[in-house]
């Protein structure tokens, strides 16, 4: 697979592709105001480089809540610089899930604001002993590959360093159910979905504004199936639609209103239905682009098709044991 099409969680077979293209350091966008006292630091997903997830910053009377902290230092720096410019301290970090592009900046947040508390599900503990441990072994092996460029290897070392934080990635407060919280003086509802995108996916609904930070329960330009149970993910999306949100901030991609989220669900469920049929994968990609095309520029269609090809081969149409490996048994 061409590296411009590779998924954000690089597996051993895909890492070899890194040699054919230099990783690109993208321009980091400025923070966007979504509602009063709520801001978005958009993640960047540049070709040839692992991404950062979106980060949502909510200001309360007792400081700031940061939902997801990204992966790269420049993303974390943008969060910290914005908070410093606005005044106040980060009081709480909420991690939507354990993927490195959402928890990678936690240590940087802690270093700058030692009194903050991290809220997340317990799923990262299992990931550290399983998926992330295996990913680290793959990265370590690829460092010995002479065909891999030094810029790409620097990225691999960065991910290895994050995994090596081990217990430092685990939450101070475990989210084990859906309920109301007061964080930094702000009333929010935090929910938990299990065995959807990961073993534990957390969302946050700000009660005053109706802004919903959904994490990777919603992702663009495609759904990221790396650690997902697709059927349970679909059911989780149905439950999200029942929430009284006005704007939804995905883990990756632009802000959606309710009508747009409904269209995202049409695209998502259509993709799963096509994957379960005998239609060619290319036709399924056509369907996804037809349904979700408003969020995928034409310049990105080739990469999206490549990513969907990978997900069909490795997940959606893999042998049954492999296809359901992240679903509860």
- pLDDT tens across 46-67, in order? 777 889 999 999 999 999 999 9
Model confidence pLDDT, tens digit, residues 153-207 = 999 999 999 999 998 899 999 999 999 999 999 999 999 999 999 999 999 999 9
Residue 157 falls within a domain, yes or no?
yes
CATH number at residue 212: 3.60.15.10
Task: Count the domains in the chain.
Answer: 1
- Residue 322, classed as helix, strand or coil, is helix
Q: What are phi and psi of 26, to 5 degrees?
A: -80, 165
Contacts of 55 (CB under 8 A, 6+ apart): 40, 41, 43, 66, 67, 68, 69, 70, 75, 79, 105
**pLDDT score of 28:** 52
Rounded to an integer, the average pLDDT of 129-135 is: 95
By DSSP bridging, strand 179-183 and strand 90-94 are: unpaired
Beta bridge partners of 41: 55
pLDDT at 3 (0 to 100): 30
pLDDT tops 90 at residue 329: no
Query: Is 293 a member of any domain?
Result: no
* Spatial distance between the Cα atoms of 242 and 258, rounded to a whole number of angstroms: 10
| Structure confidence at residue 11 (pLDDT) | 42
Which pLDDT belongs to residue 220? Answer: 97
- State the Cα–Cα distance between residues 50 and 287, nearest whole angstrom: 26
Which residue segment(s) compose the domain that 40 sits in?
Answer: 3-221+244-256
In a domain, 233, yes or no: no
Is 306 within the bounds of a domain? no
Residue 65 included in any domain: yes
pLDDT tens-place string over residues 294-311: 999 999 999 999 999 999
**171 within domain boundaries:** yes
| Tens-digit pLDDT profile for residues 197-247 | 999 999 999 999 999 999 999 999 999 999 999 999 999 999 999 999 999
- Domain membership of residue 230 (yes or no) is no
CA dist 282 and 314 (Å) reads 15
Question: Lowest-confidence range among 4-8, 41-45, 254-258, 259-263?
Answer: 4-8
| pLDDT for position 30 | 77
Asked, for residue 283, whether it belongs to a domain, the answer is no
**Confidence grade of residue 29 (pLDDT, cut at 50, 70, 90):** low
CA gap 103, 52 in Å, rounded: 10
Using the structure block, give the residue that is written with the tokens 């990105």: 300
- pLDDT confidence of residue 49: 80
- Residue 173's closest CA among 245, 102, 94, 287? 94
Q: What is the pLDDT of residue 307?
A: 95
pLDDT at 27 over 80: no
8 compared with 260, residue with greater pLDDT:
260
Q: What is the pLDDT of residue 137?
A: 96
């Amino acid at each position: 697979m061409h590296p411009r099409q590779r998924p954000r969680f690089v597996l051993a077979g895909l890492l070899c592709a890194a040699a054919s293209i230099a990783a690109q350091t993208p321009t980091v966008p400025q923070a966007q105001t979504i509602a009063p006292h709520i801001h978005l630091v958009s993640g960047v997903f540049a070709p040839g480089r692992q991404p950062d997830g979106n980060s949502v910053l909510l200001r309360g009377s007792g400081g700031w809540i940061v939902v997801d902290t990204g992966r790269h230092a420049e993303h974390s720096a943008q969060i910290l610089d914005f908070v410093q410019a606005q005044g106040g301290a980060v009081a709480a970090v909420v991690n939507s899930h354990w993927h490195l592009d959402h928890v990678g900046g936690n240590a940087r947040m802690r270093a700058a604001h030692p009194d903050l508390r991290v809220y997340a599900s317990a799923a990262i503990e299992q990931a550290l002993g399983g998926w992330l441990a295996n990913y680290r072994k793959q990265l370590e092996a690829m460092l010995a590959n002479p065909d891999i460029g030094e810029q790409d290897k620097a990225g691999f070392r960065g991910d290895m360093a994050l995994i090596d934080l081990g217990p430092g990635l685990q939450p101070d407060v475990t989210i084990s159910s859906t309920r109301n919280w007061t964080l930094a003086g702000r009333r929010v509802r935090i929910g938990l979905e299990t065995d959807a995108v990961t073993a534990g996916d957390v969302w946050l609904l700000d009660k005053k504004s109706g802004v919903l930070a959904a994490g990777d329960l919603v992702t663009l330009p495609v759904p990221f199936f790396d650690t997902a149970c697709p059927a349970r993910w679909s059911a989780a999306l149905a439950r999200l639609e029942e929430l009284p949100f006005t704007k939804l901030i995905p883990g990756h991609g632009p802000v959606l209103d309710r009508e747009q989220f409904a269209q995202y669900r049409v695209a998502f469920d259509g993709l799963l239905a096509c994957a379960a049929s005998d239609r060619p994968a290319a036709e399924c990609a056509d369907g996804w682009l037809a349904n979700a095309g408003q969020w995928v520029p034409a310049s990105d269609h080739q990469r999206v098709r490549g990513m969907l090809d990978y997900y069909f081969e490795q997940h959606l149409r893999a042998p049954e044991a492999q296809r359901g490996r992240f679903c509860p048994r």
